[in-house]
Amino acid sequence: MHVLPTPFPWYLSGPATGMCVSGMYALTNKHMGISGSFGSLVTMASSKGRVISWRVTFLLGTVIGAALVAILGGSPQTGLEYGTLSEHLSLPALVLVLFAGSVLIGYGARMAGGCTSGHGITGCATRSPGSFVAVSIFVVTAVLVTLVLNALTGWAV
Amino acid sequence: MTKVHLTAGIFGTLFGIAFTGAGLNQYDVIHRMLSLRNFDPFLIMASAMATALPVLWLLERRAWVTPLGGRLHLRRWPVDRSHVTGGVIFGVGWALTGACPGTASTTLGAGSLLGLVLIAGMGVGFGLRDLTTARTKRIRPRSFAVRRSGHYVPEALLPPL
């Protein structure tokens, strides 16, 4: 049932994302960020919090939204597929790389106080100086590491 | 379940649709972005900022009172060493996996079981960071640390993102 033309062009997705950010602030006075939502999950899991945060319903929403797009527009990455990375790596190696990389992402996001959404979009939209720095640093680092990895492995897509 | 939870759920769903619809949950899309072969994800980030920034700026100037959360207060963080160090660690993980916290939940939602690996890993990374911060706090009392090394601000004291 592929009734939804995907991928959406950037000039639809970008402003729609921006509307989520400004909408959350304008209606609820909340600073939208996904890594903060993961933080709430971790806090809840470590039993400190019995109260379910709005961040958790936001996170659930992103899962539902993704599922809607996958159902209506198709998803090229299902089951155990992970794009071209799963062509290059065996499944155990892939899981290992993804897990190790995710630990770095979680650690770094917690340390920097946000991620590509909380600093990258919301923090820049509130003109937060720390967010500008965090975004510049993680984009530059990620691009450099990717270019080095591409040169070493020859796996560039 | 309050109105705030409901609003967050609705905007989360919209976010998930926009994000996944643009393909940002796919490794290849992010990998091409970080290889500087496809600039659409950068344009998405930039146009999202360009949409939200003027709206928030205007609401702040008008001292907007939000219907569900009191007077609008835009959170800002002063530049801190943790933004640089954390940013570098985050960037390495982002390059290795082509994932960020936003792609982890949408990867799972779009039907990839590996999203579970991403979420588990990020949870472990979060927990590790909190553990090490807690230990630092035990060794160096907060008041001392803040006075001595200006840059040390435990995340627990910052408003969360």
What is the tens place of the pLDDT at every residue in A106-126?
Answer: 999 999 999 999 999 999 999
Most A-contacting residue of B122, B124, B131, B158 (CB-CB within 10 A), to test interface: B122
CB atoms within 10 A of CB A40: 19
pLDDT tens per residue, range B49-58: 999 999 999 9
Cβ–Cβ < 8 Å for B153, B82? yes
C-beta atoms of B35 and A147 within 8 A: yes
Domain ranges of chain A: 10-153
A43 vs B98 pLDDT, higher one: B98
> Residue A108 to residues A28, A73, B12, B87, B121: CA-CA distances in angstroms?
27, 33, 23, 6, 12
C-beta atoms of A20 and B14 within 8 A: yes
Q: How far apart are CA A75 and CA B26, in angstroms?
A: 9
Q: How far apart are CA A100 and CA A128, in angstroms?
A: 30
The full DSSP string for B31-88 is HHHHTTS--HHHHHHHHHHHHHHHHHHHHHHTTPEETTTEE---------HHHHHHHH
What pLDDT score was predicted for residue B139? 46
- The stretch A24-33 carries a mean pLDDT of 95
What pLDDT score was predicted for residue B34? 96
What pLDDT score was predicted for residue B140? 44
Residue B97 near chain A (CB below 8 Å): yes
Q: What is the pairing mode between strands B65-66 and B70-71? A: antiparallel
Chain A residues with beta carbon closer than 8 angstroms to that of B1: 57
What amino acid is encoded at B51 in this protein?
T
- The stretch A79-89 carries a mean pLDDT of 93
Residue B146's pLDDT band (boundaries 50, 70, 90)?
very low
CB atoms within 10 A of CB B121: 25
For the whole model, what pTM was predicted? 0.89
Q: B138: burial class by Cβ within 10 Å (0-12, 13-18, 19+)?
A: exposed
Cβ–Cβ < 8 Å for A22, B27? no
pLDDT tops 80 at residue B151: no
> Residue B95 to residues A41, A47, A133, A141, A147: CA-CA distances in angstroms?
24, 32, 18, 8, 9
pLDDT tops 70 at residue B99: yes
Q: Rounded to an integer, what is the distance from CA A9 to the centroid of its chain?
A: 18
Asked casually if ipTM beats, i.e. exceeds, 0.85, the reply is yes
What pLDDT score was predicted for residue A40? 86
> Residue A83 to residues A4, A75, A155, B18, B109: CA-CA distances in angstroms?
21, 11, 12, 20, 16
pLDDT tops 80 at residue A50: no
Domain ranges of chain B: 3-38+77-152
Most A-contacting residue of B1, B10, B20, B62 (CB-CB within 10 A), to test interface: B20
A155 vs B156 pLDDT, higher one: A155
Residue B127 near chain A (CB below 8 Å): yes
pLDDT tens per residue, range B112-135: 999 999 999 999 999 999 888 877
Q: How far apart are CA B99 and CA A128, in angstroms?
A: 24
C-beta atoms of A102 and B126 within 8 A: no
Picking from B48, B59, B125, the nearest residue to A17 by CB comes out as B48
Chain B residues with beta carbon closer than 8 angstroms to that of A113: 77, 82-83, 86, 155, 158, 161
pLDDT tops 50 at residue B150: no
Q: A34-45 vs A54-73: helix axis angle to the nearest 10?
A: 120
C-beta atoms of B112 and A147 within 8 A: no
What pLDDT score was predicted for residue B41? 97
Picking from B23, B71, B125, the nearest residue to A6 by CB comes out as B23
Contacts for B141 with CB less than 8 Å, ≥ 6 apart: none
pLDDT tens per residue, range B15-62: 999 999 999 999 999 999 999 999 999 999 999 999 999 999 999 999
